[in-house]
Structure 1
Amino acid sequence: MMNEKSISARQKPASALLWLSYTAFFFIQPVVEPSLRLWLGTLTLFVVFLVVFSIYIRTDSETWRRWMIAATFAIGLASFPWNGGASTFFVYTAAFLPFSVATTGWVLTFFSLEAFSILGESYWFHLHWQNAAFAIFLLLVIGAGNIFFAEQRRADCKLRMAHEEIEALAALAERERIARDLHDVLGHTLSLIVLKAELAGRLVERDPQRAATEIGDVERTARTALAEVREAIGGYRARGLAAEIETARRTLDAAEVTLTVENDMGNAKLTAAEETVLALALREAVTNIVRHAKAKNCRLRFVSEGGRRKLLVEDDGEHALVREGNGLRGMRERIEALGGSLRLERERGTRLFIELPLRAEGVVS
């Protein structure tokens, strides 16, 4: 029985020759009951079928394929009254039709029309009912089987397309994550390196020992930045809020900004995802303060109330930037992905409000 493999012959014309073996049934009657007229008619229609079959397996047009299926069925009808082996062409029709017509209802409708055509022809030419019944049996059985294979192939195709789309979206999301994390990591760390290098330059003459200490910090910070870049590419995981607060304190100290922490974030019961998001948000906020604020004081406040976790980062500087950049955009996307919100106020300093929903204990995210 021809199945889904018969359709793959379109892409591999050489392998389609295998399916021509079914035409051997068309030559049974000329061999058993030889006559010149029978042989000439059989060979003529066989050559016509070869042309039709060749077009079918080579064309990419669904319209042409359907016309070739109709031509194959017509060849069967034309030869069935004088060659019982013409039921072979009904087999080809039943095999190909489900793969060229996507709707099962239409396939069954065409099968019904073909069956009635065979019956009508048999009645008109007074053919043996056994031949007609056998031809209709082959048409329906092979057609029903190939409807199943065609639907399965379409389902596999849809599943494959869905997987490809998911992989493409995952790759896009990963690229966006890496871009956001590299911005946060490198922006913060390079700002710290610049600050310490400038400080060391100012101290090199009047306090060489402290200048050497600052240069040592620059080296350690650069090594840390290299490790963080590797972490970002491989899948960034924040070191924790407590460690991030200490890093923020050192960065702000180097920029001569006083940091006040009103609550201990490190003791909060946060999920890994929440801690990562808050740590990265704090890092971006401190980076912006160092780069743009010209602030003298920074206040960090963290509370859990009203079913929300709230983080406030406030400074008394003057921010020249009013447009949301990549850093804030990435911060907002991370926070909103956890069901939270971000709000920024720039009156008499800058206040960054971050809220996350308070999850029940024991819930793992």
Structure 2
Amino acid sequence: MKSPDIMSKKRNERWAWLWLSYSGFLFINPILEPSRFQWLGTLTVFAIFIGIFKVYISDRTENRPIRYWLIAAIFLLGLATFPWNAGGSTFFVYAAAFLPFVIESAAKILSLFVVESLFIVAEGFLFNTRGHLLYIGWPNVFVAIFLLILIGAGNIFFAEQKRADCKLRLAQEENVALAAVAERERIARDLHDVLGHTLSVIVLKAELAGRIIERDPQRAAQEIADVERTARTALSEVREAIGGYRSQGLTAEMEQARKTLQSADVALSCESPIPQLKAAEETVLCLAVREAVTNIVRHAQATHCRMAFTTSDDGFYTLLITDDGGRANLQEGNGLRGMRERVQSLGGRLSITADPGVTLRIELPPSTTPRPVEGPLVTL
């Protein structure tokens, strides 16, 4: 099966043959003043032109040297035909019409038009003796130059438009490719955050159930039931991440964080208003809270976690997440890297310090984030 590019090229070549309609001017002289010389000469130059034209339209690449030579051959064919067949001026028009599609500089094209016109005028001086077999009348010279400049200048505009369309199409294709790469990166980040959190909860609850199954069978059964429920929700969370993660809201995410930390015997406190945010900003903060809680459960060995929503001195709206764990070496993995990329995509900043517990500081610019609404303090 042929590719779309090949089919498009073949279709363009077929349409290009319509340009041959201009060569009909060649046959005006043989029809009005028929002679064996006129017909044989006209058919010969027409056959030569067909060969040059076929090679030209088969090579669609700009700035190829062969295209310059082909245009020069068409112009020389016009110079050879014009003295005995006034219709030979059509070759001058062809040369002028093709030049804008081969040369990008309009100044160079116009200078070549001038050179072509000078050649035509010079030939008019050379063959200006009436009654000779080779004769060029000045009206024919002026008409040839007029058509050369008119059609050539018009094609400068069409050639520029064609190049602009090609650049736009290439830019659109590049944007589509970049969007696909960005989407794959988004899915990778979100899958890491969603599955990392969910699997951490499953492991935590399974370990807890294993420790207490003999001492407290009822609670162990409850933990196993939670493991089953969490595992069942994992599929829906993956689907949400692939289709475009939309969080249940920052308040719901904080409640889920409290439950997860409570299972790891970590107390959570948040004594500041939870703000009203735009969807994109709320998604970033929800995923940040989820990733931070996952890291605390996995690595921190903490007993207390504190979250606070504040406003910094430079107007940035800030989320602080602090734990009292004892991690000495803090390395930025895929989760924290994905969190940083999300925050930076909104023009925000992310910083992490460990002294000895970890403090995660997320700052979003005031231009995109509203001030926290007045409301009751939330204590978890």
TM-score calculated relative to the size of structure 1: 0.90
Query: Is the 1:344–1:350 contact (alpha carbons within 8 Å) kept by the matching residues of 2?
Result: yes
Distance 2:308 2:330 in 1: 23
Q: Distance in 2 between matches of 1:362 and 1:355?
A: 13
Note the C-alpha offset of 1:11.
Answer: 6.3
Partner of 2:167: 158
Distance 2:13 2:93 in 1: 19
The equivalent of 2:374 in structure 1 is none
Q: Could you tell me which residue of structure 1 aligns to residue 375 of structure 2?
A: none
**Structure 1 residues 81 and 107 mapped into 2: Cα distance closer, same or farther (>3 Å)?**
same
Q: Is the 1:292–1:321 contact (alpha carbons within 8 Å) kept by the matching residues of 2?
A: no
Q: Is the aligned partner of 1:295 residue 2:297?
A: no
Q: CA deviation at 1:22?
A: 2.7
Q: Which residue of 2 aligns with 1:102?
A: 104
- Is the aligned partner of 1:327 residue 2:335? yes
Q: Does structure 2 conserve the Cα–Cα contact (< 8 Å) formed by 1:340 and 1:354? A: yes
The number of residues matched between the two structures is: 354
Contact kept? 1:257, 1:298, Cα under 8 Å: yes
Instruction: After superposition, give the CA deviation of every residue in 1:256-298 in whole Å (9 maximum; x if it has no partner).
Output: 2222223242xx2333222221111111111111111122222
Cα distance change on mapping 1:18 and 1:305 into 2, 3 Å: closer
Larger deviation, residues 35-44 vs 187-196? 35-44
Q: For 1:273, what is the secondary structure of its paired residue? A: helix
Q: Aligned partners of 1:190, 1:224: CA distance in 2, in Å?
A: 11
Which of 71, 76, 83 is matched with 2:78 structurally?
76
Aligned-partner Cα distance in 2 for 1:168–1:336: 22
What is the match of residue 352 of structure 2? 344
> Which residue number in structure 2 is paired with residue 248 of structure 1?
257
1:3 alignment partner in structure 2: none
CA–CA separation in structure 1 for the residues paired with 2:169 and 2:58: 24
Distance 2:190 2:368 in 1: 28
**Alignment correspondent of 1:183:** 192
Given candidates 269, 280, 298, the residue that maps to 1:273 is 280
Q: Determine which of 237, 242, 245 is the counterpart of 1:228.
A: 237
Query: 2:316 aligns to what?
Result: 308
CA distance in 2, matches of 1:32, 1:337: 74
1:21 is the counterpart of 2:21: yes
Range moving further from structure 2, 178-187 or 42-51: 42-51
Task: Give 1:318 shift.
Answer: 2.8
| Offset of residue 9 of structure 1 | 7.6
Identity, % of aligned positions:
60
Flag structure 2 segments of 5+ consecutive residues without an equivalent. 1-7, 129-135, 372-380
Counterpart for residue 132 of structure 2: none
CA-CA distance at 1:220 after TM superposition: 2.0
CA contact 1:9–1:57 (8 Å) conserved in 2: no
Cα distance in 1 for partners of 2:369, 2:46 equals 77
Specify the SS of the correspondent of 2:276.
Answer: coil
**Alignment equivalent of 1:216, drawn from 213, 221, 225:** 225
Contact 1:200 1:211 in 2 (8 A): yes
Q: Secondary structure at the match of 1:298?
A: strand
Contact in 2 for aligned 1:258/1:298 (Cα 8 Å): yes
Name the CA shift for 1:361/1:285 in 2 (closer, same or farther; >3 Å): closer
Pick closer, same or farther for the CA change 1:346–1:210 going to 2, 3 Å. Answer: same
CA–CA separation in structure 2 for the residues paired with 1:340 and 1:149: 46
CA displacement at 1:56 relative to structure 2: 0.8
SS in 2 for 1:270: coil
For the residue of structure 2 that corresponds to 1:24, the secondary structure is: helix
CA RMSD of aligned residues (A): 2.2
Structure 1 position 27, deviation (Å): 2.3
Give secondary structure in 2 for the equivalent of 1:238. Answer: coil
Amino acid at match of 2:338: G
1:43-90 residue CA offsets vs partner (Å, 9 max, x unmatched): 332222222112211225522112101110110011101111101212
1:354 aligns with 2:370: no
> Secondary structure at 1:342's aligned position in 2?
strand
Supply the AA of the counterpart residue of 1:198.
E
Could you tell me which runs of 5 or more consecutive residues in structure 1 were left unpaired when the two chains were aligned. 1-7
What aligned pairs does 1:113-124 form with structure 2 within 5 A after superposition?
A: 113-124=115-126
**C-alpha displacement of 1:302:** 2.2
Tell me the CA shift for residue 132 of structure 1. Answer: 0.9
Alignment-mate amino acid for residue 311 of structure 1: L
Corresponding residue SS for 1:318: coil
Point out the more displaced range, 297-306 or 110-119.
Answer: 297-306
Amino acid paired to 1:163: Q
Alignment partner of 2:350: what SS?
strand
TM-score w.r.t. length of structure 2: 0.86
Conserved? CA contact 1:10–1:16, under 8 Å: no
Structure 1 residue 10: deviation in Å?
7.5
Distance, in Å, in 2 between the alignment partners of 1:23 and 1:361 is: 68
Which AA in structure 2 matches 1:336? Q
Structure 2 Cα separation of the partners of residues 361 and 277 of structure 1: 12
